[in-house]
Amino acid sequence: RSDSSINKNEFIPMEAKSIQESGDFLIKPESKVARLDTSQWPLLLKNFDKLNIRTAHYTPLPHGSNPLKRNIHDYVRTGFINLDKPANPSSHEVVAWIKRILRVEKTGHSGTLDPKVTGCLIVCVERATRLVKSQQSAGKEYVGIVRLHNALENEHQLARALECLTGALFQRPPLIAAVKRQLRVRTIYESKLIEYDAERRLGIFWVSCEAGTYIRTLCVHLGLLLGVGGQMQELRRVRSGVMGEKDNLVTMHDVLDAQWQFDHNKDETYLRRVIYPLEKLLVSHKRIVMKDSAVNAICYGAKIMLPGVLRYEDGIEVNQDIVVITTKGEAICTAVALMTTAVISTCDHGVVAKIKRVIMERDTYPRKWGLGPKASQKKMMIQKGLLDKHGKPNGSTPADWKEGYHLAFRCIWDFHNIYKAEIVGTMVNRGMFLFARNISQVIRCTYSLCNWCEHTINSFPAIDELSDLSVFTAFRVFTVIHSGALLHIF
């Protein structure tokens, strides 16, 4: 048969043919949108899709890397070990051995354990030592054995005594402690009796407590409360901060073997299994994601400004410790929040958080500040000698540049003089002393605000009309100025 005589429908099954002829085939609009499942993403990127989106527009930079995919040199030097400390050596000895095994310059630990105590000891390596202070103040959990000097009628007495010794307690460090024996207050969050051996008068208990709590002193207090006397027989730390016994706890032999495998067989698998990225210690913190172009500025100490924020988490409160991360999940710094989640959602400028500790190495990402039109003009004027080396006006500075500089200075100076007494007096009475406490702070703000005021000065009311402004408005203006929310990048 010729090709023209072939019926193309002969090759289509009858059922499919009837469906295709009767069906209405088109892509219909739907309200359902396919969601990205990030519940299994690692470390600080977990549940990334549940973060609030401030903006999705930014330029990705080919710098940095996922914490789990760093090269082995950087991986070791930005990681920590959840070590099962052996009995007898001190914590400082163990940390010194780890330093020698890994051949690194710096190591630190998350809280001293007595020589006879075993269990979780977080050993931070190189860059991760910047998190040591935060880990030392994290909560701890212990399992201990208390020996009573005399027998009890029943084990319920010991259980009730443990329940009584919860909450804020006075403690004095034991005689063998290496600190000054001053009376201090420590909090016991929870405790429970696991087992009691009446014949040997031994009780096994679990306790969750504040950092710096002396379990040895707690055992002495248990004996005093029961009226029979007691002392600590044995102790093991089962949790330190976010890391517990079941979170990849390794021994000294594991660390030694992993380093040997890398040195002799170039096998880095075991080192990556023994060492965790430092980001693992920050998974309990609220997160703020920054644009790649803002990362290096923060590493150099710049303020965490709202225009650089990509995403932020629910439940952020003022003065809460948070972690600032990149789009690849790297920790940039720890910070103290200055805005709540609600404020971040409604504002378009301002300082989001105050840096507490910078973690990332400088110049991991390229510099992206000082590239704007004003900054470029200023650099060119410095090269031509129209401004001094600090960017301040000199004898050769053009009149229009000087005019904008002095105009902003006069405006803020007059504004401050008019409202100084009224604002400060009102805020002191309310117990809210103004951020701009004196004239010198306003003068320091002037230099960074001069170019901004140049094109917004017309929006301010005239000086003689400032008396009509409310104290609340003046307070907001000075707060924004002092916080650096209107800071111009030079």
- Max mean pLDDT range (13-22, 41-50, 63-72, 408-417): 63-72
Domains and CATH numbers, the chain: 38-66+285-369 (2.30.130.10), 70-135+246-278 (3.30.2350.10), 139-240 (3.30.2350.10), 373-483 (no CATH)
Active site residue 254: no
Q: Which of 37, 49, 74, 114 is catalytic?
A: 114
* Mean of pLDDT values over 47-58: 86
Q: Please enumerate in sequence order all residues whose Cβ is within 8 A of that of 39, keeping only pairs 6 or more positions apart, or say none.
A: 46, 47
Cα–Cα distances in Å, from 334 out to 66, 222, 309, 383?
A: 18, 39, 15, 37
Residue 45 neighbours by CB distance under 10 Å: 22
Q: Rounded distance, CA 436 to CA 423, Å?
A: 10
| Whether 277 contacts 42, CB under 8 Å | no
The one-letter amino acid at 445: C
pLDDT given at position 408? 57
Across all residues in the chain, what is the average pLDDT? 79
The predicted pLDDT at position 402 comes to 75
Residue 57: which pLDDT band, with cuts at 50, 70 and 90?
A: confident
- Cβ–Cβ under 8 Å, residues 229 and 148: yes
C-alpha distances in Å from residue 332, one per residue of 61, 329, 340, 358, 359:
15, 9, 20, 6, 5
- Convert the pLDDT of each residue in 145-159 to its tens digit: 999 998 888 888 899
The proportion of the chain whose per-residue pLDDT surpasses 70, expressed as a percent, equals 74
**pTM of this prediction?**
0.70
**Is the CB of residue 189 less than 8 Å from the CB of residue 208?**
yes
Q: Look at residue 453 and tell me whether its pLDDT is greater than 80.
A: no
Report the pLDDT averaged over residues 391-398.
84
Spatial separation of the C-alpha atoms in residues 437 and 33, rounded to whole Å: 52
Contact 289, 360 (CB under 8 A): no
